[in-house]
Structure 1
Amino acid sequence: MTSLSDFLLTQAMRHFSAADWSAASVQALPIESGVSGVKVRRYELTHPDGPCARVVVKPCGLKERLTLARLDGGEGVPGAYVPDLHSDEEADVVMEDAGETLLGWTLADREAAARALSAVHAHFMGRRAELAWLPDLDAAYLEGFIVERCWRGTWQRARGNPDFVREFGGWISVVEASVQTLAADLLAFVAQTDVQTLAHTDVYYGHIFRQGERAVVIDWGQARYAPLFLDIGDTFDTAEGAQVYRTALAARGVRLSDSVFETGHRLARRFAGVRYVWWWLESWQRDPQDWNREGLERMLGMAAGQPG
């Protein structure tokens, strides 16, 4: 191994295993970019003694690199080798490969996801001073990114589609009313509760992978110091699903009152519905089918603030 990229992989494997991988062979493997389109690379390393390991290399901004370095070695996330913790420019991070098995929909899947997320949430709850690089949840993020960027454009285009108005017109006013107060309601909840932690804020099924009995959460580029509920609205959208997460959180010593949990979960559903309804709107308008109609109905109900 002689190239600069090979040297980076060598150092990463030493970080992950404390073994010498300098004589390992390296093979590039295919990998798809996610929704964000960030160019990631996957490699398989074969040690002369036989062991194989797969890693993913991703260019990350400084905030994500600091977050991954802080999460490295913890439960529920892939290990990460972060050689640059100072440059404002993007720099490569080497991560243990999460694999290609996305989280499923069974109770066991949800329990694995609950263990992964609760591990991060419980560990960092109330530890703001250790996470100085993370932005807080604020109106600029909620109104500028979640509402304007994630929701409004696709929503306005859908409103101009007669098929959408005919099929889903009953949702329009209630969703828009919910969106109007989402930022204020979330910020009021932050002011009245003490459930802030290292929150991923972009947790959906495409960001959670199964590794046997374990789940790992990837793509921490949008992490914030925010209520833990921002991470459970999609994966744990139902009341029953939310209890799976609540049980896992309690097992780690974090017990929330019924009123806080119920209010937080309803806000979580609204947040996730507003954030992710764009995908279902586009999918249904492009090629209406039963599955995406059902998914769109689910997201509209969440965005509108209906209980799970």
Structure 2
Amino acid sequence: MTPPPPDSAWLAAVSRWAGAPVAVTARTPLAGGYVAAAVERIDLDAGGHPVAVVLKRVQPSEVAAMRALAVVPGVDRPRLLATGHDGHGAWLLLPFYPGAALDGGDVPAAVWDVLGKVHTHWHRRRARGIPVVDARWWWAMVVGHTLPAVRGAHGRTGDPRLAGIAELLEAWSTDARLRAALALLPRTLTHGDAHRGNVLLATDSAVLIDWGNARVAPAGLDVATLAAQGAPAPPGYAAPAMSPALREVERLWAQVQVHVQYLGFAADHLGTERVVEMVDTAARALDALGPALAAASRG
């Protein structure tokens, strides 16, 4: 297992944040999910007061995302306390936000507020060090991640529907409508994986955590991810300015993107019926995307 960075690399930063010298009192491994290689909660004593932080081994793109998040006015959670790189890779240090993941109901307004501010601040700007969702990225995602999972599910189940879906995905990987949409739509900084499990109901405010899948992409990616879980954007979400015709292109593209993006997970964990349902949703959106692109070009 990859070792954590030495305490000397980050203790001074925590002392500045806490306003007092700190000492480690306990360490607890946390689940790392699909992105972080190792995650650890560290409890500390700060001049007689308890504080807790999270130390993560991460990909460099997550460091870049946290730095990009830090410059957005009005966004202070999750807060980057320290970062570094050693012989074992990059690491991040963040405050520990106690609370449970959102498992139902409405997404708190604080999360939509953060998304709106991030999407607007980085609208038509590229945050360095973060992957860009373009035609090449889309092809690599479909061919490198989604297709192998669907083919694996077909191998396990023998369901002929999965074989047909694999053929469909091959065609979608180079679909001209999706390429045209990605060439047309403005991009911004997106969370890239803004599902309910990454919404933490902290004691004083909700926090959108785990920016390891951050992407430079159309803002609709984050909106569609939550909408697919029954949490559409509320009226208070401040989307970047865009014409109605272009907004419709973004909405339809995002429906395709999100349902294909999570198709590999569905194939591995949710069963064939859910895979078929997601592909049907994506196919309907893709069918509508062509006319929407034509309308946007006329506008």
Q: Residues 299 and 210 from structure 1, CA distance in 2 versus in 1: closer, same or farther, beyond 3 angstroms? A: farther
Unaligned regions of 5+ residues in structure 1, if any? Answer: none
Could you tell me which of 164, 187, 196 is aligned with 1:205?
196
Distance 1:187 1:53 in 2: 48
TM-score (norm 2): 0.77
Q: How big is the shift at 1:147?
A: 0.3
Distance 1:132 1:222 in 2: 14
Q: How big is the shift at 1:302?
A: 3.5
Q: Deviations over 1:57-109 (max 9, x none)?
A: 11233332232123237527411123438x797222101224451123312x2
Give the corresponding residue for 1:273: 259
Give the corresponding residue for 2:93: 94
TM-score (norm 1): 0.75
Q: Residues 256 and 99 from structure 1, CA distance in 2 versus in 1: closer, same or farther, beyond 3 angstroms? A: farther
Q: How big is the shift at 1:301?
A: 3.5
Q: Deviations over 1:19-63 (max 9, x none)?
A: 1233x343102311212461111111122332x222111123333
Could you tell me which of 145, 155, 160 is aligned with 1:150?
145
Q: How big is the shift at 1:160?
A: 4.1
Equivalent AA in structure 1 for residue 102 of structure 2: L
Unaligned regions of 5+ residues in structure 2, if any? Answer: 287-299
Give the corresponding residue for 2:40: 41
Secondary structure at 2:264's aligned position in 1?
Answer: helix
Q: How big is the shift at 1:298?
A: 4.7
Equivalent AA in structure 2 for residue 185 of structure 1: R
Say whether the 8 Å CA contact 1:102–1:208 is kept in structure 2: yes
Give the corresponding residue for 1:188: 180
Q: Residues 155 and 65 from structure 1, CA distance in 2 versus in 1: closer, same or farther, beyond 3 angstroms? A: same
Say whether the 8 Å CA contact 1:33–1:39 is kept in structure 2: yes
Equivalent AA in structure 2 for residue 21 of structure 1: P
- Which moves more between the two structures, 76-85 or 223-232? 76-85
Say whether the 8 Å CA contact 1:76–1:119 is kept in structure 2: no
Q: Residues 61 and 36 from structure 1, CA distance in 2 versus in 1: closer, same or farther, beyond 3 angstroms? A: closer
Distance 2:260 2:190 in 1: 18
Say whether the 8 Å CA contact 1:229–1:268 is kept in structure 2: yes
Say whether the 8 Å CA contact 2:20–2:47 is kept in structure 1: no
Q: How big is the shift at 1:270?
A: 1.3
Q: Deviations over 1:116-163 (max 9, x none)?
A: 3222111211233xx23334323332111x202221012123334556
Aligned length: 280
Give the corresponding residue for 1:141: 137
2:282 corresponds to 1:303: yes
The answer to which structure has the higher helix fraction is 1
Q: Deviations over 1:217-237 (max 9, x none)?
A: 333333332211222322122
Say whether the 8 Å CA contact 1:29–1:43 is kept in structure 2: yes
Q: Residues 199 and 45 from structure 1, CA distance in 2 versus in 1: closer, same or farther, beyond 3 angstroms? A: same
Say whether the 8 Å CA contact 1:76–1:117 is kept in structure 2: no
RMSD of aligned Cα (Å):
3.3
Say whether the 8 Å CA contact 1:60–1:90 is kept in structure 2: yes
**Identity rate, percent:** 22
Say whether the 8 Å CA contact 1:199–1:230 is kept in structure 2: yes
Distance 2:262 2:164 in 1: 18
Q: Residues 5 and 157 from structure 1, CA distance in 2 versus in 1: closer, same or farther, beyond 3 angstroms? A: closer
2:238 corresponds to 1:249: yes
Say whether the 8 Å CA contact 2:100–2:202 is kept in structure 1: yes
Say whether the 8 Å CA contact 1:272–1:302 is kept in structure 2: no
Q: Residues 99 and 186 from structure 1, CA distance in 2 versus in 1: closer, same or farther, beyond 3 angstroms? A: farther
Say whether the 8 Å CA contact 1:14–1:21 is kept in structure 2: yes
Say whether the 8 Å CA contact 2:35–2:213 is kept in structure 1: no
Distance 1:189 1:57 in 2: 38
Secondary structure at 1:233's aligned position in 2?
Answer: helix
Say whether the 8 Å CA contact 2:124–2:188 is kept in structure 1: yes
Secondary structure at 2:256's aligned position in 1?
Answer: helix
Say whether the 8 Å CA contact 2:151–2:166 is kept in structure 1: no
Matches within 5 A, 1:219-234: 219-234=210-225
